Amino acid sequence: MSRGARGRATAPLPVRAGLNPTRLRLPDDGAWATVLDYLLHRFPDDAVRLREKVAGAEVLDAAGTPVTATSPLQPGGFVYLYRDPPTTEVRVPFEIEVLHRDENLLVVDKPHFLASTPRGVHVVESALVRLRRELDLPELSPVHRLDRLTAGVLVLTTRREVRGAYQGLFDRREVSKTYEAVAAHDPALALPRTVHSRIVKRRGVLTAQQVPGPANAETRVELVAVHGDRARYRLRPTTGRTHQLRVHLCSLGIPIVGDSFYPVVHDVPVDDYSSPLQLLARELSFTDPATGVRRTFTSRRRLALDPAPA
């Protein structure tokens, strides 16, 4: 079994219709006699489709062998199968702009409201799946992520064999990242400043929290321009914690305009595009590991910064 760039086994199924196969880890306790027994237990609402997939040899083990109705469960093993994309997923009505493309990289300007990768109810309507389908790039993979509600520069690799080199840049914090945000203006807030805190995002909880302990998140905050009671800020994070910029600005008393999570969670319908989060990944810069050339990519999108009413 070959290994991916980060040591993970390569899936025995190819990308299909822009979607990776799902990898499921089998339980360690061996309480189920067969793989199918376990799958039916774990996903009872999908029993009919699971039986169809097994019968059609669409469920494979890590060696690429089709799972049958009688295949014994190997504790701690893995199986791979394609998930069915939602039949009612509504298209996010914003387009992705390509900023750069070469043999290794695809750099795009992601719009607000479009997920970077398939997750939850956003499967086909993600930047990754759209781009794989539209550009016929089945090995396309993001080397970092932007929140669904954040717009701006997103870097993807076009070939599996170069993915690790570019992901390593982000892992080693060798990428310079500049964001812009629109938030309230507080004349009493001394800027520029660097915000340090410990941010924790727990599974199943929508928001991240700042907790006591050693800092694991750092953001440089600069004031760019003031328009009435709002201002434009330049944000330079040196770490990449979930919701880091949103949490840090909120902690300064200036939550980002359009933020439905901080300081209070508001229930916004998934198809409500009326108030985009005013946060933009404006620029990414790094030394290309393939060429040694310094590369800088800049978003062409704009944030809304209306002057205060007269």
d(CA 222, CA 270): 32
For residues 121 and 225, state if they share a domain.
Answer: yes
Judge contact between 120 and 255, C-beta under 8 A.
Answer: no
d(CA 207, CA 204): 9
Bridge partners of residue 219, in order along the sequence: 195, 237
- Among 147, 171, 186, 306, the one annotated catalytic: 147
d(CA 203, CA 87): 27
Burial profile 245-255: b = 16 or more Cβ within 10 angstroms, e = fewer: bbbbbbbbebb
Catalytic status, residue 84: no
- pTM value? 0.84
CATH code (residue 137): 3.30.2350.10
| Structural domain boundaries enclosing 207 | 97-298
Q: What is the overall mean pLDDT for the chain?
A: 92
- Greatest distance between any 2 Cα atoms in the chain: 74
Summarize pLDDT for 52-101 with one digit per residue, the tens.
Answer: 999 999 999 999 999 999 999 999 999 999 888 777 788 899 999 999 99
CATH code (residue 62): 3.10.290.10
d(CA 257, CA 238): 23
Summarize pLDDT for 218-273 with one digit per residue, the tens.
Answer: 999 999 999 999 999 999 999 999 999 999 999 999 999 999 999 999 999 988 99
For residues 277 and 224, state if they share a domain.
Answer: yes
Q: Which runs of E-coded beta strand occur in the chain?
A: 22-25, 60-61, 78-81, 97-101, 105-110, 141-142, 151-157, 176-184, 193-200, 209-211, 217-227, 230-237, 279-287, 294-298
Q: Is residue 127 part of a domain?
A: yes
For the chain, what is the domain count?
A: 2
Judge contact between 96 and 127, C-beta under 8 A.
Answer: yes
For residues 174 and 68, state if they share a domain.
Answer: no
Q: Is residue 200 part of a domain?
A: yes
